[in-house]
Amino acid sequence: MIVLLSGMLVVLRALEREDLTAMHKWQNDEEIMRLARSFPDHVISKEALEAEFAKELKGEDTGRRAYIIEEKSTRKPVGWATIRIHQFQRKMTAADVGLALGEKTAWNKGYGTETARLLLDEVFRQLNLHRAEWWTFSENNVSVQLAKKLGFKEEARLRDAVFFDNRYHDLVVLGLLKQEFESIRAASETSRDKTTVSYLQSP
């Protein structure tokens, strides 16, 4: 199997037709869909999923890249991720990144952090985009904290923008620019080099 993006804990690979069974389970899970899409009552048939991802399955470029997140140690699919290049400007400058670990046993192990970093590498260092966006509803603390940990800044709060569970919720839009991403990367690479040097120098 071809690995598209590879980290220490996870790999991101292309979505295959066989993955639709797992995707069907994840996208009919109330908790996952509340957190991932602000849409707890989301129900979707396999046929509808196949239609939604038809272009990706056929390799037709739609401006959206869909990945399956696999746990590296077991090669088990644990979630999905997307990069959605903004089309409305008719210029390739920005993309939304999104991810969801559909297997809840995969939460809190650093997989989300690593997946997001792999997506950002792709957005900035391969697609050469200028800006990444991260959208979530304001009470999704884990998502907001993860985005901030990666350097995203809160840029907008769309008041009462989504409705679910019998009330409105704010949407939070976070943004990260290429130069911010690169300076965070440079700082982490420098501190990693220092750690390696002191490790090598220790008796």
- We find the least distance from the C-beta atom of residue 116 to ligand COA, in angstroms, to be 7
The residue with tokens 């704010």 is 170
- We find the least distance from the C-beta atom of residue 60 to ligand COA, in angstroms, to be 26
Whichever of 47 and 155 has its CB closer to ligand COA, that residue is: 155
- We find the least distance from the C-beta atom of residue 6 to ligand COA, in angstroms, to be 17
Whichever of 128 and 163 has its CB closer to ligand COA, that residue is: 163
The binding site for ligand COA (CB under 6 A) comprises 32, 35-36, 79, 98-101, 107-113, 136, 140-143, 145-146, 149
- We find the least distance from the C-beta atom of residue 29 to ligand COA, in angstroms, to be 9
The rounded distance, in Å, linking the Cα atoms of 99 and 146 is 11
Whichever of 54 and 153 has its CB closer to ligand COA, that residue is: 153
Nearest to 74 by CA among 38, 45, 111: 111
156: number of Cβ within 10 Å: 14
Whichever of 15 and 146 has its CB closer to ligand COA, that residue is: 146
What b-and-e string marks burial along 18-41, b requiring 16 or more CB atoms within 10 Å of the CB?
A: ebbebbbebbebeebbbbbbbbee
Nearest to 97 by CA among 60, 138, 131: 131
Whichever of 32 and 123 has its CB closer to ligand COA, that residue is: 32
- We find the least distance from the C-beta atom of residue 117 to ligand COA, in angstroms, to be 10
